[in-house]
Amino acid sequence: MNYFSSDFKLGILGGGQLGKMILYNTRKFDIHTCVLDPSKDAPSRLACDAFEVGNLLDYDTVVNFGKKVDVLTIEIENVNVDALETLEDEGIKVFPSSKTLRTIQNKAQQKLFYRDHNIPTADFSRFAHTTEIEDAIENGGLSYPFVWKSARFGYDGQGVKVVRRYTDLLDLPNVECIAEDLIPFKNELAVIVARNSEGHLKTYPVVEMEFHPEANQVEYVICPARIPDAIAKEAELVALKAAAAFEHVGLLAVEMFQTEDDNILVNEVAPRPHNSGHYSIEASYTCQFEQHLRCILGLPLGKTESKVAGVMVNLVGAENHTGNVVYKNIENILAMDGVTPHIYGKKQTRPFRKMGHVTIVDKDIAKARKIAEKVKRTIEVISE
């Protein structure tokens, strides 16, 4: 099929920053794009050929949108999977598939999938409602501390809480959830696996993620991860095993723990471009967003190696600031060598909302990490 400067239409469910960055690359290739998002002010609205406002969880809305395109992809998992299944039945190509997405959307199902496919992951218990956890503790089936995770609709630190004592349970929503062993770990790692419709696979280098202690959000992504080669190889193999088990087409971001005794455990996966791959826009031969397009269109996969070391800093809304956004001191970071800010186009900021990211590239990873800290101290995402 001719995708370039043709009548072919690619549909994207979700018009946030990931969609916007996919669209950088559809523009490069002159691929006609249609985007559906619930917000009329979504970051992707200006970069696509056709933009529609609609609820991604509404069956009819997603089906009607999907019928207008040749291939449908996502930039967010929270979409109506029944609608995707209907579209597949009608011959529309959907990547990731409804089957893959149905499993990944629900963290309890996702964990059971790892268990069934011998993919290493932390031990867990599954509950239909959070209130059942109290009984499990009283009966000795569960003990503190553990990690509570909502089975559905968690993202960017939402729907996750470390529970160390009874009082930590009191404010949690009464929803389907899991209680997962709290793993002592040295590092949080991630590997992005690219798999096209022919089944060809490539991995990006292992990255290391440093988290904000309060917001439970990634603050820094460091590529390559500062870990021994043997650990990196093991992480890569586990990620490849996960991608093959899902029979996934597209990108699969596999987040993992490196435990104190150097075992690799899968934390969770995302079947789309991911925060842990943003560094690739500046640092890699083929950025993750172009690679995603290559995967879902059945094109040859691009080179995944890095040209240079990269560190990514997330720009999130400052605490105590809600309203029209202002990027304070952005000129100062633009004056630093190897620093590239990406502003997502969200007009309203609020505490810890992802508003952009900054990539720092350098031949020396230690130097890049030092500049990243300076960037973090310098730029502020505040309101007017």
What does the DSSP assignment read for 136-178?
HHHTTS--SSEEEEESSS--TTTTEEEE-SGGGGTTS--SSEE
Conformation bin of residue 261: beta by default, left when phi > 0, alpha when psi is -120 to 50 = alpha
Is 367 annotated to bind ligand?
Answer: no
What one-letter code names the amino acid at 110?
A: Q
Q: Phi first, then psi: what are they for 117, rounded to 5°?
A: -110, 15
Is 74 annotated to bind ligand?
Answer: no
Q: How far does Cα 312 stand from its chain's mean position? A: 14
The CA distances from residue 181 to 149, 210, 228, 297, in Å, are 11, 20, 26, 39
Is 180 annotated to bind ligand?
Answer: yes
Is 374 annotated to bind ligand?
Answer: no
Contact 4, 25 (CB under 8 A): no
Is 149 annotated to bind ligand?
Answer: yes
The CA distances from residue 273 to 16, 201, 288, 292, in Å, are 12, 15, 6, 7
Candidates 266, 269, 197; CA nearest to 237 is: 266
Of the chain, the end-to-end C-alpha distance in Å amounts to 49
Is 182 annotated to bind ligand?
Answer: yes
Residues placed in the known binding site: 107, 149, 180-183, 188, 267-268
Residues placed in the known binding site for ATP: 107, 149, 180-183, 188, 267-268
